[in-house]
Amino acid sequence: MIKPIGSETLKPLFVADENERNMLVAEAQNLPDILVSSATAANAVMLGGGYFNPLGGYMNLPDALAVSRNMTMTSGQFFPVPILNLVESVDSIGEAKRIALRDPNVEGNPVVAIQQIEAIETVSDEQMAEMTEKVYGTTDPEHPGVEAFNAQGRIAISGPIQVLNYSYFETEFADTFRTAVQIREEIEQRGWQRVVAFQTRNPMHLAHEELCHMAMDRLNCDGLVIHMLLGKLKPGDIPADVRDDAIRTMVKYYFAENSAMVTGYGFDMLYAGPREAVLHAYFRQNMGASHFIIGRDHAGVGDYYGAFDAQSIFDDEVPEAALDIEIFRADHTAWSTRLNRVVMMNEAPDHTKEDFVLLSGTKVREMLGQGMAPPKEFSRPEVAEILINYYRSIA
């Protein structure tokens, strides 16, 4: 199986020993605490599960700036985006060296992690703007990722963490949420050697399904990991439980036994386009995937990124030998009325736009909201039924 990044084996930051964890939970009740941002809590979950291996905690400002500029920490360790604990004030922690990080996404704000403080640094407006521009490619406050990043405070608390739980992900998505450690274990149990991962924050329509089959066939993969984002999205995106139901139904009817694994991870979407594509590849290698599908406008939003920027960044900006995982570069896929099958549009140069079944997201939502299933060339009927029921429930 492919090795993790930066170490021979994963080093998850979740405290697995129950006795030790219980002692830390008790200790946390007497520590100064801070209610962290949703992004910080999600980063703790990813660190806890081994996805961000070999990071030991939240970055200091020099590392965050270095990563933003060239995807390399001051130590030389590769990482694609800053992982920060940004807060508005540290008045409540005084001179403490250990603090409890409270989860904003769970009722009662339980402690998600304990952090050892190595440094407390103020981020200037110029430094914040530089990191925003480098990571998101824009400082436009209308960009949902830019808005969320800049809504955090300007004080960075750096240092290692000990993760005590997986926030709401493990309880609300018990059948789907998996750590990188757990996915590696299941890949090994299934006997897979070549594994392709597919990222999604949406239900999978027929074109997505066929893209996964194409990748598996062309790469000669033993298995597919459909890896859903379970964290916070932008308004209007379909909730994770609905996506989960739709995707599991698709796999049940249209994938061979022991060929596809449906899992999810706890993280807030950045909508950072190319940089997020690299992050997605980074933690897919850590979870054991040897290949990763990246299509048009991967992790993008609006018109902020070029159609294939999320693919070209691996050639133009990712340091050489930083990743072992291989990228499967996909074009937009759609049903060809001339060939009566789903194709990558760049592999059908003799087609015109009219030769494809293409529906906008707005049109699909309108149809589903009216109880109408999209055409069979666009969506499996079993998937459409689930989505119709969802849109009816919010009408």
Q: What secondary structure does DSSP assign to 176-241, as a single string?
A: TB--HHHHHHHHHHHT-SSEEEEEESS---HHHHHHHHHHHHHHT-SEEEEEEE-S---TTSPPHH
Determine what percent of the chain falls in helix, strand and coil, rounding each to the nearest 5.
35, 20, 45
Q: What is the pLDDT of residues 140-174, one digit of tens each?
A: 999 999 999 999 999 999 999 999 999 999 999 99
Q: From the centroid of its chain, how far is CA 368? A: 26
Q: What is the pLDDT of residues 233-280, one digit of tens each?
A: 677 778 888 999 999 999 999 999 999 999 999 999 899 999 999 999
- Strand, helix or coil at 160? strand
Mean pLDDT value across residues 24-34: 97
Beta-strand runs (E) in 276-329: 291-294, 326-329
Cα separation, 50 vs 225, in Å, equals: 17
Question: Among 18-32, 61-75, 370-384, whose mean pLDDT is lowest?
Answer: 370-384
- Reported CATH class of domain 176-394: alpha beta
Fold of 18-170: Sulfate adenylyltransferase (3.10.400)
pLDDT at 231: 84
Beta-carbon neighbour count of residue 269 at 10 Å?
19
Tell me the β-bridge partners of 293. 328
Give the alpha-carbon dihedral of 46, 47, 48, 53, to 10 degrees: 110
Radius of gyration, alpha carbons of the chain:
21
Question: Residue 216 pLDDT > 80, yes or no?
Answer: yes
**Domain-by-domain residue ranges, the chain?**
18-170, 176-394
Cα separation, 274 vs 364, in Å, equals: 26
Q: Is 379 exposed, middle or buried (0-12, 13-18, 19+ CB in 10 A)?
A: buried
pLDDT at 360: 80
- Residues annotated as catalytic are 201-202
pLDDT > 90: what percent of the chain? 90
Check: CB of residue 174 under 8 Å from CB of residue 277: no
Mean pLDDT value across residues 202-218: 95
pLDDT at 78: 98
* Rounded to 5°, angle at Cα 36 from 31 and 37: 175
pLDDT > 70: what percent of the chain? 99
Measure Cα distances from 61 to 89, 161, 177 in Å: 16, 17, 31
The encoded tokens of residue 225 equal: 């990991």
Instruction: Say which residues have a Cβ less than 8 Å from residue 228's Cβ, sequence separation at least 6.
Output: 176, 200, 201, 240, 243, 244, 247, 262, 263, 264, 265
Check: CB of residue 281 under 8 Å from CB of residue 187: no
What average pLDDT does the structure give for the chain?
95
pLDDT at 348: 95
Q: What is the pLDDT of residues 73-122, one digit of tens each?
A: 999 999 999 999 999 999 999 999 999 999 999 999 999 999 999 999 99
Q: Torsions phi, psi of 390, nearest 5?
A: -65, -50
Question: Among 61-70, 160-169, 370-379, whose mean pLDDT is lowest?
Answer: 370-379
pLDDT at 274: 98
* Residue among 274, 112, 187, 234 at smallest CA distance from 282: 274
Question: Residue 283 pLDDT > 80, yes or no?
Answer: yes
Q: Are strands 341-344 and 155-163 parallel, antiparallel or unpaired?
A: unpaired
pLDDT at 104: 97
* Rounded to 5°, angle at Cα 251 from 269 and 270: 5
pTM for the whole thing? 0.94
Q: What is the pLDDT of residues 318-349, one digit of tens each?
A: 999 999 999 999 999 999 999 999 999 999 99
Tell me the β-bridge partners of 196. 224, 291
Question: Residue 6 pLDDT > 90, yes or no?
Answer: yes
Given strand 223-229, what is the order of strands in its sheet? Answer: 260-265, 223-229, 195-200, 291-294, 326-329
